[in-house]
Amino acid sequence: MSGAETMTRPAVLILLGPPGAGKGTQARMLQDRFGLVQLSTGDLLRAAVAAGTEAGKTAKAVMTAGGLVSDDIVLAILKDRLEEPDVAQGVILDGFPRTNVQAEALDKLLAQNGQRVNAAISLEVDDTEMVTRIAGRYTCGNCGEGYHDTFKTPAIIGTCDKCGSTNMVRRADDKAETVGQRLAAYHAQTAPLITYYERQGNLQRIDAMGEIGQVATELSAIVEEAVA
């Protein structure tokens, strides 16, 4: 299928999964295919860090250490973003919620607008694979397209397929010592959300160990059904 499909009503989809599971990669593909807006709290926080805002200054140290930024900061940033007009067509939340407090706050916020979470999709990969994926990851510094040294290389090495930029960047928190902390934070604070959404009857699980295209096909089928 080519081009963006028209959604009949605003959808709210959540991609759950550990660092390196492929949330960003898949969210960008779903955005292109379904016309939804990818909303990554990691990207919003990195933008706040780059802009040098007060929230960004506080978040920077936590992110560098591989911990989770406080719920207050994350929720404030997310609420601001949700007020922008483009999200009315539906969103894919990438990396949010990450704690019970965030999940409950999201449900409350959506209920105020007569909305709900359509589906929370858990991308399941083992810890060894995550480390390999993160170690080889880089991103176009201009448009944000993601790549991997082995698993997803651009047609011309060093040049972005999407925008032609040669400004490729690696994330400061992708160092081996930080990845361990990020994984620990995931298992302690975010993995319990799988049960949270299971109890709501909203959870879908995907084996995300396969190739990017294979995971995308499975994910698209779930999204089509969730937003129908």
Residues serving a catalytic function are: 23, 98, 137, 171, 182
Residue from 20, 36, 160, 197 in contact with ligand AP5 (CB under 6 A): 20
CA of residue 39 relative to chain centroid, distance? 7
Residue with smaller CB distance to ligand AP5, 81 or 133? 133
Residue from 11, 14, 19, 203 in contact with ligand AP5 (CB under 6 A): 19
Q: Please, which of residues 177-216 interact with ligand AP5 by CB under 6 A?
A: 182, 208, 211-212, 215
The reply to whether 17 sits near ligand AP5 by the rule CB under 6 A is yes
CB 12 within 8 A of CB 117: yes
* Segment (H or E) for 17: none
CB 39 within 8 A of CB 96: yes
* Segment (H or E) for 100: helix 100-112
Q: For residue 222, which of 92, 83, 133 has the smallest C-alpha distance? A: 92
The reply to whether 60 sits near ligand AP5 by the rule CB under 6 A is no
Strand partners, 139: 146, 169
Least distance from ligand AP5 to the Cβ atom of residue 42, Å: 2
- Tell me the C-alpha distance between 64 and 99, whole Å: 19
Binding positions for ligand AP5, rule: CB under 6 A: 17, 19-25, 40-42, 45, 62-63, 66-69, 74, 95-96, 98, 102, 133-134, 136-137, 146-148, 151-152, 173, 182, 208, 211-212, 215
